Amino acid sequence: MSKIDQLFKEYTQERFIKLNKEQFVYIVNLFPALRVVMSDGIVDQEEWVTVKRLAKILGDEFASDDLGEEKEENLMLIYRAEFRHLVRNLDKWQDKFLAALKDYFNENEPAREFVVETMYLFASASDGVSEEENEDIEFLTKELGLEDIEL
């Protein structure tokens, strides 16, 4: 069983959420960006607007019929709730999410660039990239083996 599969099982059981693996993988891919948003200790208004906008995009894109008639909105709300949960519980999930993501990159090369792009997107959501955000991006880039990605 891959680390993504293990994390998917553990996380969805603990959180009682109905996401399929593909929907969950987007949360994993966005985890580094969520950590960058929290690097200064708070999520300001502009950053949270970006997080909510992304939740809506993902809800529209990956809604499945098993989420009911209002599936796009239901998925958007699930994503928003999980992003909020992860921001509040970074310490609990960080090691597991980063290990799963690092493992996931072995099979999904395009995800590497997506992760770097979203870290910078979230960091620049407010008044440019702060020193704390930049330090977090550097740490995560090294931790995840993404130093070779250029934007």
Across 12-16, 28-32, 65-69, 87-91, least confident range: 65-69
Q: Supply the pTM of this predicted model.
A: 0.89
Residue 98 or residue 50, greater confidence: 98
Task: Look up residue 97 and give its amino acid.
Answer: F
The reported pLDDT for the residue numbered 150 is 83
Query: How far does the chain reach from its first CA to its final CA, in angstroms?
Result: 33
Q: Which residue, among 99, 108, 128, 117, has the nearest Cα to 40 in the 3D structure?
A: 128
**Mean pLDDT of the 115-135 span:** 88
* Beta-carbon contacts of residue 133 (< 8 Å; ≥ 6 apart): 36, 39, 40, 123
pLDDT at 76 exceeding the cut of 90: no
Residue-wise pLDDT for 4-41, tens only, equals 999 999 999 999 998 899 999 999 999 999 999 888 77
